[in-house]
Amino acid sequence: MNRALHREEARRAMAMILDGVASPLQISAYLMLLRRNGETAEELAGMVEAMRAHLPPVRRLAVDLDWPSYAEPHNQQPWFLLAALALAQGGVRVLMHGRPSDAEQPTLTRAALSLLGIEPMAGLAEAKSALGDHGFAYVGLETLLPEFHRLFAYRQQLGVRTCVNTLARALNPGSARAQLIGVAHPAYQRLHQDLLCLLDQPAAAILKGGGGEFQRNPLKVYEVGAVEAGTAVAHQWAPSAGLDAFDWRGEELDARRVADLWVGSFDHPAAEAAIVATMAVALRTLGRASSVVDAEALANQIWHGRLNGGKQTKAARRA
C-alpha cells in the first residue's frame, strides 16, 4: 500500500491487534509498512482511539497532568521525576505512565521512584486512590494495556524504531486536560502537535529532552511545541541564568542521587535548575502561569517549599 491509512482504517487495524486477531507476522508487516511510509497524524489518531477504547474503565479519575515516561534507554538521570513530585505536592494531580526496564533498554524511572517509596499501581482504580491521597501515581503500560505493551518487543525483532513509541506517549489514560511529551528527535515534535490537535487535546507541551523524556535542559534555548485550545503554537524559553556548563550525558547514573536530592541531602545546582525549568513549562501548560517569568517564579517557589510539606501559595494549588 502506497497511501496513508484513513483514521478509521488505522483504528480498526489497532483494534485487531489489541483483540489478538492479528498474527505476529501481520503485526510485523503492519509496523514496517507504517515506518516505510512514515506514519501520519491521522493514522496515529485512529490507533490512539483504539487503544483508549481498550483501557479499563474508571469513573472520575481526576488528573490534571499526563506525564508519559518512555525513554529508551536513559542516558542521564531522571530529574524530571522530582519536577512531577514537586508539582503534585503543590496541588497538581499527576499521572505518570511508562514501561519496565529490560536488558536492552535500561531505565532509571522505576528505580528512582522505588527509592522514594513509590511503586507502580496495580491499575487505574488504585491510581485514583493514590492521586486523591498524594497527587501522584505511576502506572505501568504492561498493566494498563498489556496487549499494546507487547508491541515494544517488536523493536528487537525488526531492528528499527516503530510508531509504538509515539502512540504510548499520546495515550493519556487518565484523560488529563494537559499533557507533557518528551521526544528524542525534533521531527516528532510537530507530529505530536498535529496528533494531539486531532485528538482534541486542550493543552500540551512537547520538547526534545534527554533520552526522549520531558526534561528541559536549563543551559539551552528551547522552542517548546505546544497545543492550546486545539491549535499548535510554540513558546521560546531562554536558558537559566548563572549556571556553569554541565555534561548531562556524563553524569553518574545512580538512582540514589535522585532520592537524595529530593530530601535535600545532595547538592546539585544543575539538576535543580533542570527540575525548576521543567516545572515552569508544566505550569504554563496547565494555565497556572501566564508568562515565562511567572512560570519560573512559581516553579522556584514550589520546588524550594517542598521540604516544609509543600505548603504553597493559593496560585500554586489552584485547580
Per-residue model confidence as pLDDT tens digits over 67-126: 999 986 657 899 999 999 999 999 999 999 999 876 555 678 999 999 999 999 999 999
User: Of 280, 291, 137, 144, nearest to 205 (Cα)?
Assistant: 280
Provide the residue type at 173 as one letter. Answer: P
Strand 136-140 relative to strand 178-183: parallel, antiparallel, unpaired? unpaired
CB-side neighbour CA atoms (13 Å) of 236: 2
What is the DSSP pairing of strand 65-69 with strand 136-140?
unpaired
Which range in 37-41, 98-102, 159-163 is most confidently predicted, on average pLDDT? 37-41
Would you state the pLDDT for residue 76? 85
> What integer pLDDT is reported at residue 315 of this predicted model?
37
Instruction: State whether residue 185 is helix, strand or coil.
Output: coil
Instruction: Specify the range with the lowest mean pLDDT, choosing from 128-137, 193-202, 237-246.
Output: 237-246
Phi, psi of 163 (to 5 degrees): -70, -5
CB atoms within 10 A of CB 6: 13
pLDDT of residue 289: 94
Helices and strands, counts by H and E, the chain? 15, 7
Report pLDDT for 312: 43
Q: Residue 67, SS3? A: strand
pLDDT of residue 72: 66
Q: Is 22 helix (H, G, I), strand (E, B) or coil?
A: coil
Average pLDDT, the chain: 91
Alpha-carbon span 301 to 7, nearest angstrom: 44
**Higher pLDDT, residue 61 or 287:** 287
Beta bridge partners of 136: 94
Q: Which domains does the chain have, with CATH numbers?
A: 7-53 (1.20.970.10), 65-317 (3.40.1030.10)
Residue 318, pLDDT > 60, answer no
Distance CA 262, CA 20 (A): 43
Q: What is the pLDDT of residue 316?
A: 41
The rounded distance, in Å, linking the Cα atoms of 71 and 252 is: 17
Q: Is the pLDDT of residue 278 over 80?
A: yes
137 has pLDDT over 60: yes
Give the Cα separation of 207 and 214 in Å (integer): 7
Please say if the pLDDT value at position 50 is more than 90: yes
8-37 pLDDT per residue, tens: 999 999 999 999 999 999 999 999 999 999
Helix (H, G, I), strand (E, B) or coil at 117: coil
Partner residues linked to 225 by β-bridges = 206, 234
Q: Indicate if the pLDDT at residue 311 is higher than 50.
A: no
56-73 average pLDDT score: 87
**Of 184 and 45, the one with more pLDDT:** 45
- Taking the model in full, what pTM does it have? 0.93
223-268: pLDDT as tens digits: 999 999 989 999 999 998 888 888 888 888 899 999 999 999 999 9
- Strands of the chain, DSSP E: 65-69, 94-98, 136-140, 178-183, 203-208, 222-228, 231-237
Residues 295, 276: Cα–Cα separation, whole Å: 9
C-beta atoms surrounding 301 within 10 Å: 15
What is the predicted pLDDT for the residue at 319?
33
pLDDT for 60 equals: 78
Q: Is residue 127 within 8 Å of residue 100, measured between CB atoms?
A: no
pLDDT of residue 313: 38
pLDDT of residue 301: 96
The percentage of the chain sitting over the pLDDT mark of 90, rounded to a whole number, equals 76
